[in-house]
Amino acid sequence: MSLPEPVIALDHPNKNKVYEVLQTLNDLASYCKIGPIPLLNYNTTLIRDAQKLGWKIFLDLKVYETPSTTIQVLDWASQNKIDLMTVSYTPDSRVVIKHKRHTKILAVKTLTTSAMIEEKSFKSWVMKIRNANFDGLVCPAMASLWAREVFPDAIIVSPGARLNKTSDHTFTYDPKDAVEFEIDYIVIGRPIMNAADPKAILKKFINRIY
């Protein structure tokens, strides 16, 4: 497998900080993550501006809607060249995802602040999303190898990468372990967005990965 790539989560209330990161880190990272809060704060202009600067977009909305609405959302995402997008798994997911699009669709279930993941039930869920034609999933790093067992070619995204153990995430991991965990994309948010020198912090993460 290829080496993990960093994804910069743009979850910050200060617009100047968000645009500083977009303008100064695009030579070190390719993907940025846009969740509900930055999307509400800055609307789709943020997506367009990031794309103009060369960023690939991970739209993390965890869409949980009726099949017809979810299909419309995914079609919009594909038309607007969104690269990755999260959708909550439901029994109707196969119907929703059966048409291939530009956008790769990632399933979500367990937040990285959750207290426990049970191996058997997690693997059962991964089998369901594989059979529903998801392209991959978002999961804590400690569950990534279980996911890989069941869904070998999944795109695996894991939040919670930290240079130290101080975090509100229950499941944190050292970025140097991302290769061993067979993670494709490591999400980095607060350590970069709250840093006085975001570029220096991102370089530390990259050096730890590689």
The enclosing domain of 154 has a CATH number of: 3.20.20.70
Using alpha carbons, select from 132, 137, 133 the residue that is nearest to residue 149. 137
Domain limits for position 206: 1-54+188-210
Using alpha carbons, select from 198, 189, 200 the residue that is nearest to residue 161. 189
**Tens of pLDDT along 41-98?**
999 999 999 999 999 999 999 999 998 999 999 999 999 999 999 999 988 888 788 7
Residue 88 lies in a domain: yes
Total structural domains in the chain? 2
**Tens of pLDDT along 148-183?**
999 999 999 999 899 986 655 567 899 999 999 999
CA distances 37 to 43, 44, 60, Å, are 9, 12, 10
